[in-house]
Chains A and B, each alone.
Chain A
Amino acid sequence: MANPKNTETPLSVQDFTAGLWKENPVFVMMLGLCPVLAVTNTVENSLGMGIATLFVLVCSNALVSALRHLIPKPVRITTYIVIIATFVTLVDYIIQAISLDLYNKLGAFIQLIVVNCLILGRAEAYASRNGFGKSVISATGMGLGFTLALVMLGAVRELLGAGQLLGYQVFSSNFEPWVVMILPPGGFIVLGCWLLLINYIEQRKTGKLLDEESASQCSVPQNQVSS
């Protein structure tokens, strides 16, 4: 996909949607796992983290892509990291200004966005080889996919761990919360379950296709025999 030669191809919807599901950074590429598990104990935290990452991803990819002909090859990784770190510092201060409560909840994990391999990976693999528009659109898709994955995890963990969703009580007071879901082990287990589910769905899809193919292949020799 990231072919250096096709920089002139027109923008397509696929650039945007690829990151959302088919190449989802968390469920398919397993990138940037640390914040995924650390801050997803409520939907609110997940959304905050997702949007912060989205912002950094889009801004840094836009800048990397705009400067891609000016950055010398040997020092490109260092340059990318400095660009990313600048935007992360910005986000850090912005969140502090908007919501101190969220800032305290996310803690050092906002600054750890710098070393989220998703952002550096996209800068190196996509933004440094594609035009400005394409990079921004692809980064937006990837960022939204990342946010989606975070919220999917956060929703399950908050629902089971506290019986709430976005702070609203969902289950009646008879519900005994599974405290373990909010604690660290819950993060690993919920992500593991989502991956199992996705693997299962994928396998059923490809499994069906395979069955049809093998069925048609089987029928061919029979026909030949009969003829």
Chain B
Amino acid sequence: MNPESLSFIFLSAFLINNFVLAMFLGLCPFVGVSGKRDTAFNMGLATMFVMFISSVCAYAINTVLVKYELEFLRLISYIAIIASSVQLVEITLKKFSPALFRALGIFLPLITTNCAILGVALFQTVRGYNFLQSVAFSLGAGAGFGLAIMLMAGLREKLELSNLPNITQAAALSMMLAGILSMTFMGFAGLGGSTA
């Protein structure tokens, strides 16, 4: 596959270089909110949504910064614009679609400054993606995050019923599970070069 093509960028962010399991971004919500499957699903949706918005915003602000040669302000302006645009969307959502807001609402402020969100913005800049490529990248990364957190939640729900030794309290066990999941995802590397 052509590494520049939209489908490749999407698949690469979704499976091959999965944001959580191969690049370790967004681990806090991954460990924190993966207790139940329905919460995990809403969290995944909300993250995908925020990633898409922040990717578009970051692309726009980067174009402006490059034009005026202000690249050293990139980091600060990314954070500011992501935080404020998400807040704006949150307010709009509350007004026009209360049902959707109830599903995603509590997660939106939580994930605004999560490293996966900023990671999408930074990686698309570093790799020099154009607008459509950035959108494909952000959607793939969001879907990948959702997939990983859903898998994790399913595993943890099953494990709640099993008899575990005391020393594998919460975090240690989650790390082990994530390691095994990550190993499974390494299998996708065959789909087309793992260029991180």
Contacts and interface: CB of A to CB of B under 8 A. Distances in A.
Is A bound to B? yes
Interface residues of B, number: 40
Contact of A188 (B26, B118, B176): B176
A184 B21 contact: yes
A91 B30 CA distance: 28
A116 B11 CA distance: 27
A117 B28 contact: yes
B123 interface: yes
B23 to A, nearest CB: 7
B115 interface: yes
Interface string B58-90: 000000000000001001100110010000000
Interface residues of A, number: 40
Of the candidates B23, B27, B168, B175, the one having the most CB atoms from chain A within 10 angstroms of its own CB is B175
Contact of A81 (B26, B113, B166, B172): B113
A180 B183 contact: yes
B171 interface: yes
Contact of A196 (B26, B167, B183): B167
Interface of A: 30, 33-38, 78, 81-82, 85-86, 88-89, 92-93, 107-108, 111-112, 114-117, 120, 180, 183-189, 191-192, 195-196, 199-200, 203
Q: Which 6 A-B pairs have the closest CB atoms?
A: A188-B179, A192-B175, A195-B172, A189-B179, A192-B176, A185-B182
